[in-house]
Amino acid sequence: MVDNPETVTGGCMCGAVRYETRGESFGVIHCHCQSCRKHNGAPVVTLAGFKADQVKFSGDERKIYESSPGVGRAFCGKCGTPLTWEGDGGDLGPIIEFHISTFDNPNVLVPTAHAFHPERIPWFDIADNLPRYEGFSGNSPLLRHGPVSDGLPSD
């Protein structure tokens, strides 16, 4: 679990879609999967997850692209800012994971792991000591801690 203030606010670049989360995030991770990278146009995407009932949207309705059955990826219909990954969180029920840079103050949500590490863009090595997982953190093999380019043969 991640310590954060009771309420954290965020929204898209133009401000049409706003949201707030209440209580603790169940997890903050860097995701290297190709789908997240495509949706964001970024080499890696950092997500903070909440149960859907911890989240309140306001302003314009967010648009949702269904990237696979049961998985929604939301964005602002005016400015196009990619906002969320939304779907079934298993034991957690419906979940909404926000892209970290859409929070007004992302500093309060601190990542604890890398997910889908093998799918990362090879030139994007990461110099932190967080655990790197093969798939979603927690329910997939832990591959390594720390950077690949440590002078040793790569994984």
Closer to Zn ion at the Cβ: 4 or 30? 30
Q: How far is the CB of 76 from Zn ion (least distance, A)?
A: 3
Which positions lie near Zn ion, rule CB under 5 A? 12, 14, 16, 31, 33, 36, 76, 78-79
Closer to Zn ion at the Cβ: 23 or 77? 77
Please tell me the number of Cα atoms within 13 Å of 72 on its side-chain side: 15
Q: Are the CB atoms for 7 and 24 separated by under 8 Å? A: no
Closer to Zn ion at the Cβ: 42 or 110? 42
Measured CA to CA, the distance from residue 42 to residue 39 in angstroms comes to 8
Q: How far is the CB of 151 from Zn ion (least distance, A)?
A: 29
Q: How far is the CB of 124 from Zn ion (least distance, A)?
A: 14
Residue 92, C-beta contacts closer than 8 angstroms, at least 6 positions apart: 26, 51
